[in-house]
Amino acid sequence: MAVEQYHAIRDEYEVVVIAAYERAVEVTNGAMVNRRGEAKGISDWDLFTHNTAYAMAYASEELVEHWARYPRPTFAAFERQMIA
């Protein structure tokens, strides 16, 4: 994959992540990080930019339920979809 194509896909992915983040804020009323995550200083945005295991470890129950209905976007899945 050419560098330009990779950067274009990353830019489009960022738009998708921002939309998913904004939707999750609405659905969870901003309660996205669990107590363990709050104690470690994890931000809401971290849950959308780190790997899935990290996100699931620190996501609130409300956010996990939201992701069960509307899966958390990952770059790998997005990239596969874009180049298919």
- pLDDT by residue (tens digit) across 16-35? 999 999 999 999 999 999 99
Residue 79: its pLDDT value, please?
Answer: 86
| Number of structural domains in the chain | 1
pTM score: 0.87
Residue ranges making up the domain that contains 24: 3-83
Q: Quick count: other Cβ atoms within 10 Å of Cβ 43?
A: 13
Biggest CA–CA distance in the chain, Å, is 42
